[in-house]
Every structure is written in structure tokens, then in C-alpha cells.
């Protein structure tokens, strides 16, 4: 079948296409066993271009079958642990945490903790393998400028403390050695931070990400905080906006599956008039909703933060409360317990001593 594929379906420049067509080269079969020099002679296309055309056609037709059995996928899914969030309830809701090879999106109101979630995940993905982590590196693309390193240091310190507590319980040598390597400095040095000031920079960064990841094969998480910001202004042409966004989504999906990376995006909310009342909805509209595989909406209800699993291929829709503490994202714990265990990691909501 492949040999009957017409050449016009390949990404060949139109000029060359017409020349090929005029010389009678219509299908893949016509190009079989022909040398670049021969092709050049017959069509009048330059030698280098001919070589490229032949290479392109061969590459495309000899590509391995992409069909995998569900068994293979199941095995793959089981060998790749998800990234935990440090909130057991959110983890349970997501099926263990933020999955690799997928795009997960967090939408939410301002100040709800989207950036905090991103920072938390950036640290958690680096937890050594003996603690069930991924020991991976992070690419953090910041479009809003809300990445405050001091805050990241807070979260890192809390995470390391947590791991230390676990390692003290175990007497295993391996655990101890990996614990000694798991330092704040190392964690910080493995977060690669891009600051994009407009959407063109963002597009360029996304284009070049595969190269960066080839150089840094340990990258397990790509964060974009937020995907929407630069697409909210300066756009008269909405079809262009949609196209750029979908092509970016496509690159992320490719990246995620090819390199087994978790892609985490955040998106802000905007207000739309719905009937008589106005409602908060994700800013990039309905069509963008297809881009992410897992979508979590973070929202306030009174003074309580909630995470709502809005879309997921494997888990059912549910809502859980969470809080943002000094140490990062945590479960809600009974406030009476907290007062007793002052030094516990799970301190009450973001409470800091005020002198």
C-alpha cells in the first residue's frame, strides 16, 4: 500500500512537486531504486534537493509500525511511577500523581496555588529513586514572572526534611547514600528555567525543547506557567491564535510520549457571561480543552481550596480539598492535631510566625 502513496502527500516544496509531477514521478514506487543523480537529471531539480527528497520519502515509508499492544502500554505505565504532589488526596484523585507521557493542566483563579503546585512538582520529580521518586530534571518555562526562587527554596527544604525523616527510619545504606546526595543545591541546579517575555519566545522555546531534552536526558517534567498569559493580548487574528496553540499542544504531546516526560501546564481563568450570571472558565476556551489529557480545576469555596478533576482518561471525576502550607501543597489535616504537633511538616495553612 505504502508504495502507492502519492508524492504530493509528502512535505516537499511545491516547486519541486510540480517538477516531479511533470517528469512523471507520482507515487513512492516511481522513486524506488532511483539515485539522486538520476532523479536530478530527469526532473531538473538540484542534486542536494534530490537527495533530500529521496531521504524523506524513504524515511517516511520505512518507519516502524507504531502499533503497540495494550499489554506493552500497561507494562510501560507500570514501570513509570507518576510524580506525587505531596497531597495524598490529590494523588489518589489523579491515580498516584501527575502521570508521565501525558499533558496535565491546572486551571484556576488567581492566587489559588497554580504556581505553588508547579514548584511542588518541580521538586517532587527529583526525589531519589529509592524513595519511589523519579530522580529527574525539570524544564520550567515561566511566562508570567511569578517564579520566586526564595519560595522554591522553602518547598525544597521541606521536601528534603520529609525524605530525611523517612531515611532515618530505614537503615539501608543505599537510602543513606542517595539521601546525602539529595541536597537543596542539587535540586535547584536541576531546574532549568526559561523566562519567556512574549509568545514568540514561547514558541521558539517549545520548538527547541526536543534538542534541549536530548542534551539533558534526565528531564522528566516540563512545566509551562502559564500557557495562556501571552495569548491573552495582542491578538487580532483569533484563527492564528488557535492554530499556534494547537501546534504547540501537538509539540507537547510528541515531547511527552517520545521522551516519557510529564508536561504540566497552567491556565488562568476568565469570566464569561452565561445567561444572566457570569462564570469563571479557563481562559483559552473550549477548543483548547482537547489539548490536555488530564485537567484539574483549582477553585475557592469560601476559604477552602479545592481541586476538581475535570477530565481524565482513567479516573472518575471528583473533588478534594487541599491547602498551601509553608512547605508546599498538602492535605487538609484536622486543625486540632496541628496545634499539638507544632513541628510537624503538615502545619496549618501557610501559617508563619508574626512577631
Query: Contacts with other proteins in 169-198 (CB under 8 A)?
Result: 185, 187-198
Q: Which is nearer to other proteins, 84 or 119 (CB)?
A: 119
Return contacts of 211-219, CB within 8 angstroms, 24+ apart. Answer: 212/139, 213/139, 213/255, 213/259, 213/261, 216/137, 216/192, 217/259, 218/135, 218/136, 218/137, 218/190, 219/136, 219/137, 219/138, 219/139, 219/192, 219/259, 219/261
Within residues 278-317, the interface with other proteins by CB under 8 A covers 280, 283, 300, 302-303
Q: Which is nearer to other proteins, 33 or 211 (CB)?
A: 211
Within residues 106-125, the interface with other proteins by CB under 8 A covers 109-112, 115-116
Q: From 179, 66, 194, select the one nearest 133 (Cα to Cα).
A: 179
153 lies in the binding site for other proteins (CB under 8 A): yes
- Minimum CB distance to other proteins, residue 278 (Å): 9
Within residues 208-237, the interface with other proteins by CB under 8 A covers 208, 211-212, 226, 229-230, 232-234
CA atoms of 143 and 147, how far apart (whole Å)? 9
CA atoms of 203 and 198, how far apart (whole Å)? 9
Among 39, 90, 94, 139, binds other proteins (CB under 8 A): 139
- Minimum CB distance to other proteins, residue 233 (Å): 4
- Which string of x and - marks every residue 234-253 that binds other proteins (by CB under 8 A)? x-----x--xx--x------
Among 146, 157, 251, 319, binds other proteins (CB under 8 A): 146
- Minimum CB distance to other proteins, residue 68 (Å): 26
| β-pair partners for 267 | 107
User: DSSP letters of 146-187?
Assistant: ---HHHHHHHHHHHHHHHHHHHHH---HHHHHHHHH--HHHH
Q: Which is nearer to other proteins, 102 or 295 (CB)?
A: 295
| β-pair partners for 161 | none
Three-class secondary structure of residue 116 per DSSP: helix
Pair type for strands 137-142 and 304-311: unpaired
- Minimum CB distance to other proteins, residue 283 (Å): 8
271 lies in the binding site for other proteins (CB under 8 A): yes
Among 53, 100, 160, 291, binds other proteins (CB under 8 A): 53
CA atoms of 256 and 71, how far apart (whole Å)? 20
Burial class (CB in 10 A: 0-12, 13-18, 19+), 108: buried
Size of the site for other proteins (CB under 8 A): 80
Within residues 60-99, the interface with other proteins by CB under 8 A covers none
258 lies in the binding site for other proteins (CB under 8 A): no
- Minimum CB distance to other proteins, residue 174 (Å): 26
Q: Which is nearer to other proteins, 53 or 101 (CB)?
A: 53
Q: Which is nearer to other proteins, 94 or 213 (CB)?
A: 213
Rg (CA), the chain: 25
Q: From 195, 201, 131, 203, select the one nearest 160 (Cα to Cα).
A: 131
Within residues 31-50, the interface with other proteins by CB under 8 A covers 49
319 lies in the binding site for other proteins (CB under 8 A): no
Amino acid at each position: 500500500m505504502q508504495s502507492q502513496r502519492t508524492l504530493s502527500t509528502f512535505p516537499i516544496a511545491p516547486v519541486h512537486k510540480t517538477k516531479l509531477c511533470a517528469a512523471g514521478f507520482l507515487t513512492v514506487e516511481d522513486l524506488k531504486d532511483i539515485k539522486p543523480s538520476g532523479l536530478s537529471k530527469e526532473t531538473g531539480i538540484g542534486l542536494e534537493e534530490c537527495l533530500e527528497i529521496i531521504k524523506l520519502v524513504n524515511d517516511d515509508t520505512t518507519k516502524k509500525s507504531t502499533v503497540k499492544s495494550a499489554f506493552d502500554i500497561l507494562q510501560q505505565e507500570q514501570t513509570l511511577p507518576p510524580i506525587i504532589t505531596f497531597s495524598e488526596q490529590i494523588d489518589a484523585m489523579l491515580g498516584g500523581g501527575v502521570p508521565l507521557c501525558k499533558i496535565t493542566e491546572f486551571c484556576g483563579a488567581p492566587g489559588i496555588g497554580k504556581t505553588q503546585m508547579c514548584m511542588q512538582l518541580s521538586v517532587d520529580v527529583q526525589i531519589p529513586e529509592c524513595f519511589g521518586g523519579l530522580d529527574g530534571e525539570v524544564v520550567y518555562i515561566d511566562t508570567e514572572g511569578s517564579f520566586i526562587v526564595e519560595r522554591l527554596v522553602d518547598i525544597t527544604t521541606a521536601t528534603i526534611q520529609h525524605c530525611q525523616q523517612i531515611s532515618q527510619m530505614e537503615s539501608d545504606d543505599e537510602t543513606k547514600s542517595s539521601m546525602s546526595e539529595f541536597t537543596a543545591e542539587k535540586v535547584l541546579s536541576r531546574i532549568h528555567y526559561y523566562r519567556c517575555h512574549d509568545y514568540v519566545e514561547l514558541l521558539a522555546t517549545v520548538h527547541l525543547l526536543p534538542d534541549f531534552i536530548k542534551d539533558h536526558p534526565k528531564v522528566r517534567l516540563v512545566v509551562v506557567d502559564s500557557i495562556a498569559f501571552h495569548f491573552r493580548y495582542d491578538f487580532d487574528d483569533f484563527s492564528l491564535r488557535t492554530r499556534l496553540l494547537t501546534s504547540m499542544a501537538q509539540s507537547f504531546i510528541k515531547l511527552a510520549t517520545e521522551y516519557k516526560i510529564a508536561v504540566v501546564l497552567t491556565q488562568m481563568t476568565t469570566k464569561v457571561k452565561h445567561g444572566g450570571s457570569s462564570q469563571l472558565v479557563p481562559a483559552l476556551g473550549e477548543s483548547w480543552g482537547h489539548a490536555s489529557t488530564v485537567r484539574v480545576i483549582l477553585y475557592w469555596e469560601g476559604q477552602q481550596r479545592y481541586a476538581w478533576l475535570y477530565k481524565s482518561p482513567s479516573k472518575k471525576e471528583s473533588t478534594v480539598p487541599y491547602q498551601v502550607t509553608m512547605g508546599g501543597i498538602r492535605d487538609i489535616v484536622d486543625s486540632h492535631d496541628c496545634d499539638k504537633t507544632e513541628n510537624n511538616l503538615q502545619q496549618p495553612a501557610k501559617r508563619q510566625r508574626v512577631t
